[in-house]
Structure 1
Amino acid sequence: MRIVSYTIINLVISKRLLPNMNSSQKEIIHIIGIGGIGMSAIAEILHNFNYEVQGSDMRLNDNLDRLQKLGIKVYIGHNADNVKQAQVVVHSSAIKSDNVELFAARNNNKTVLHRSDMLAEITKDKYVVAVSGSSGKTTTTAMIASIFDHSNGPLSVISTYSPVIQVADTGIKKKDLDSSVTRWNDTNMGIDATVIVGGILNSYKSNSKLGKSNIFLIEADESDGTMLKIPANIAVITSVNSDHIDHYGTFDDIKNAFSQFANNADFTILPDSMVISCDASNSITFGLENGNIRASNIKQHNNSMKFDVLIDNNHKIKNVVLSNAVGIHKVSNALAAISVAIKFGISSADIKKGLLEFKGVARRFSLIANIKGVKFIEDYAHHPTEIHATLAATRLITKGKVVGIIEPLRFARIRNFFDAFIQVFMMFDHVILTTVHPPEDKPIPGCGIDNIQEALISNGFNNVKIMNDALLISHFISDSTNLGDVVLFIGAGNNIAKLAKETAALMPEVEV
């Protein structure tokens, strides 16, 4: 009952949070786990709103370094004293209920908000484009941001585009955008949206950007149902798979949650192949073969893709070049982004410019080194479907071997997708397994990296080792690779990112 009462109190208090942003008396907001990719973005946006923001995390990382340079106070380690001066304490689902700071905040009647509640507060009364999905949401959000940044206002409906889009209308009402259109007309600055995304955009060197318009572009996390709390005007769904069963219960529950996300919005953009219940008159679909917006004549180049876009068999955008992209799944991401642009009435020329100038996202098929002709590439993939897509993309750019250095994410995910992991790992030429992330995750019997290794060997795949030392891995790479091979560092944790950089630094003749 105590937790329930706090929840009710906090919901009431939270309603007054954002209106106070322009007052002279600012509240101190403490963020537990402030170094996380999603939490650090919220911290930076709140800081830019002139709130006094502070936070804590267990260890230093690049996100904390960036926040500290902005003047945000960061505590290393969790301690009840850290929240003493704060009026508002924000946490994510990764923070356990017995966390000492969270416990202290509740015991002292602080306003305690889940990350999703804070995002809902930040986006209240804004025009919101929310991007969610089991995979591809970060890259898709980044592509939309690039198109927005390179577009020239004002907004208008492109009536020569498909009848479906005309019937649906843009869904963007003049009253929603009055404050923005004037600025675009006067400065020719493009759609200056506020962006909050779950990755470091190379064009921003950050996971957020404070814009001057009333438009917010948000990556809405599906893992804990955050996307259901975002007041989306346009909902974008990139993909749906059976990940996060532990939160939802069943795959049907996951699909129902995305259906709710779609139906809560004024308009939905989703893959043509997806079985999601939503109003067809208020949605458009995209796909590689079918859908209102689809791609044709797809060609992979060294680090870019070229394709045509067909819109309801009526309007074609020819020779779209997507920079910093490898793999057919990136074209699918681009189609979702293009769908948003069309919805906003952005011209074909500006769409092409935005994708041509796309700089990519850190840790999304990112080249970190080229060592004697062997490419070191880092990727955030952590679900079997994502790892398969990353491997397939790699096969497009090499005829040599592919070595996968893989950091599994959470024992529960290994349990839920054990057989799928075995199948995809067997598609590599060599696999090196590192320790499971996060380090504090509780082991599940039969779901360790040694169990994965045993299963691979029993299935006839013997090229698998367990290593977590950069020097040993560098020796293995030196002995096992040749000109044209690719080494993939795969995983969502910080350890694999650190391991990739350390391994590359130990290799001779580095050409970044």
Structure 2
Amino acid sequence: MIKNILYEKIKYVTPKMDNINNIHFIGIGGSGMGGIAYILVKKGYNISGSDIISNDITKNLISLGVKIYFQHNAKNINNANVIVVSSAIKNNNPEIIAAKRNNIIIISRAKMLAEIMRFYYGITITGSHGKTTTTAMIYHIYSSLGLDPTFVNGGILKKSELYAHLGKSKYFIAEADESDASFLNLRPIINIITNIEDEHLEYYQNNIEILKQNFLNYSQNIPFYGCVIVCIDNLSIRNLLKNNLIHNNIITYGFSKDADIKICNYQQHGLKSKFVLSHKKKNIFLKINLNIPGYHNVLNATAAFIVSSYIGINHKNILKALENFSGIKRRFDILGIFKYKKNNLINNIIIIEDYGHHPTEINITINTIRMIWPKKKIIMIFQPHRYSRTINLLNKFIKVLSTVDVLFILNIYSAGEEYIMGGDSISLYNSIKKYGKINPILGIWKNYHEMMISLYSKFTGNDILLIQGAGDINNISSLLVKKKLKL
């Protein structure tokens, strides 16, 4: 079976969308939006887009011939047949208003993704955390073995610098975003649910039960001949299974004893992870080595293993590919070990950048650092992401952020949200200070020099600098790497 998969030479060609040629993206610089735009331009459509700032994604698209406007203006939509809109874009956007006035079709990012995926063997990865890395792992396995899948992801692979790819096979691997329930448009054959937590609740009436119901509804999109792969360690998923609410073909995985695919003997050796997978009903014990750390990545790798095994890929080939996976940018991304001089001594500091913006994700990152470097002092620069998330999860943020040694809090990245009293950086700062476990610092810096003075005052010579957040905090990372911590 695997030989037929690996050596299939016929290019898989999908039909074109009738009467559609010019497609305009509002918010094209987002990883999800940019990935879809990339696929469509590779398929031969005329693509344009708009956004506020330039980034690596917009630069890549421009190099492919995409016309991008760095402001929102009614004139940008030109001769567009379809407008694709990011969930971050408001209805009062001038391009949306112009499109409505001219009766141009307006669809969501997920709707366009669904239309592209319609003719493929779709594999989606959903969940509150771990989607991006799991998606990347699956793509890495399939592409390493010659399957050449199409994929769209929310992060950039370190080794290949890819965030999307138009492949020649029937497989389409995509990260499916639950933030606005638009993932319900998708109709994959296989879906993974990594976990369900209190994330994006502002869209779900601040009610996790409604969020869970949407994941359940999405599971019903999977056909009877498909498969739903779920992490049984997660309490919300376990409750859905306990109540027999998911009626598809289900494969469970996790550290739990009753998982179909059980993880055991997990060991962390520096930045490397080792563990064993055993099958509940079959006499299978597989040793897996990863070159990335953390029990969360063990879970991600297990999900990737299952979805690869399900389509018939040989186990040895999967294990070899997983061992060669090098990770995602801004996900526990070790930027380097940099030298700096203080008190006439040359010291080293490890700089790590991490995209996590939910308390659970941040806690996992902190715990992973403590496991690898138990004697190191953690200095965190944290940028809160969204007023709604900050106020809804305030107590959890307080507890998690209080576990580092030094905490700098930046101005919040609103992601287009209106101000919510009590959900800003000052409120978070005051709450952590009142909690009393740590004395936080407001990192409101005017320039690089001022930032470095603040950081240097906290360096001890035995530090890890953790740059944490999903907004534009990576600008600080770029400065630090570029200037190499020079004062």
**1:263/1:278 contact within 8 Å kept:** no
Shift of residue 467, structure 1, vs aligned partner = 1.2
Higher RCO (CA-CA < 8 Å; seq separation 6+): 1
The match for 1:292 is 260
The match for 1:196 is 152
CA distance in 1, matches of 2:214, 2:248: 20
1:425 to 401, 409, 424: 401
2:126 to 132, 147, 159: 132
Counterparts in 2 of 1:461 and 1:279: CA distance versus 1, 3 Å: closer
2:331 to 364, 376, 386: 364
Shift of residue 279, structure 1, vs aligned partner = 4.2
Does residue 1:63 correspond to 2:54, yes or no?
A: no
What CA RMSD, in Å, does the superposition of the two structures yield over aligned residues?
1.9
Q: 1:395-406 maps to which residues of 2 (within 5 A)?
A: 395-398=370-373, 399-406=375-382
The match for 2:349 is 374
1:394 to 350, 369, 372: 369
Shift of residue 472, structure 1, vs aligned partner = 2.9
Q: Which moved more, 1:423-432 or 1:266-275?
A: 266-275
**1:317/1:348 contact within 8 Å kept:** no
Does residue 1:450 correspond to 2:426, yes or no?
A: yes
SS of 2:174's equivalent in the other structure is strand
Residue-by-residue CA offset, 1:172-228 (whole Å, 9 max, x unaligned) = xxxxxxxxxxxxxxxxx2x22101111112233121011111111011001111321
**2:405/2:438 contact within 8 Å kept:** no
Shift of residue 507, structure 1, vs aligned partner = 4.1
Counterparts in 2 of 1:509 and 1:355: CA distance versus 1, 3 Å: farther
Letter of the 1:339 counterpart: I
**1:429/1:463 contact within 8 Å kept:** no
CA distance in 2, matches of 1:504, 1:150: 31
SS of 1:201's equivalent in the other structure is coil
Does residue 1:270 correspond to 2:246, yes or no?
A: no
CA distance in 2, matches of 1:393, 1:270: 23
Counterparts in 2 of 1:478 and 1:316: CA distance versus 1, 3 Å: farther
The match for 1:213 is 169
Counterparts in 2 of 1:322 and 1:395: CA distance versus 1, 3 Å: same
Residue-by-residue CA offset, 1:65-95 (whole Å, 9 max, x unaligned) = 1111111111110000000221111102111
CA distance in 2, matches of 1:406, 1:350: 39
CA distance in 1, matches of 2:325, 2:461: 29
Shift of residue 145, structure 1, vs aligned partner = 1.0
Letter of the 2:82 counterpart: V
Q: 1:228-243 maps to which residues of 2 (within 5 A)?
A: 228-243=184-199
**1:225/1:257 contact within 8 Å kept:** yes
The match for 1:436 is 412
Which has more helix, going by share of residues? 1
CA distance in 2, matches of 1:213, 1:439: 36
Shift of residue 286, structure 1, vs aligned partner = 0.4
2:320 to 322, 334, 353: 353
CA distance in 1, matches of 2:92, 2:72: 11
Counterparts in 2 of 1:440 and 1:251: CA distance versus 1, 3 Å: closer
**1:474/1:504 contact within 8 Å kept:** no
CA distance in 1, matches of 2:112, 2:283: 40
**1:26/1:52 contact within 8 Å kept:** no
SS of 2:90's equivalent in the other structure is coil
Letter of the 2:402 counterpart: M
Counterparts in 2 of 1:504 and 1:342: CA distance versus 1, 3 Å: same
The match for 1:119 is 113
The match for 2:452 is 474
Could you tell me the TM-score, scaled by structure 2's length?
0.89
**2:81/2:104 contact within 8 Å kept:** yes
The match for 2:392 is 416
Q: Which moved more, 1:48-57 or 1:288-297?
A: 288-297
Shift of residue 462, structure 1, vs aligned partner = 4.0
CA distance in 1, matches of 2:25, 2:425: 33
CA distance in 1, matches of 2:368, 2:211: 27
CA distance in 2, matches of 1:484, 1:339: 40
Shift of residue 444, structure 1, vs aligned partner = 1.2
Counterparts in 2 of 1:50 and 1:316: CA distance versus 1, 3 Å: same
SS of 1:206's equivalent in the other structure is coil
**Structure 2, gaps ≥5 residues long:** 1-13, 340-347
Shift of residue 348, structure 1, vs aligned partner = 1.4
The match for 1:159 is none
Could you tell me the TM-score, scaled by structure 1's length?
0.85
CA distance in 2, matches of 1:205, 1:505: 19
The match for 1:338 is 305
Shift of residue 371, structure 1, vs aligned partner = 1.7
Letter of the 2:381 counterpart: I
The match for 2:94 is 100
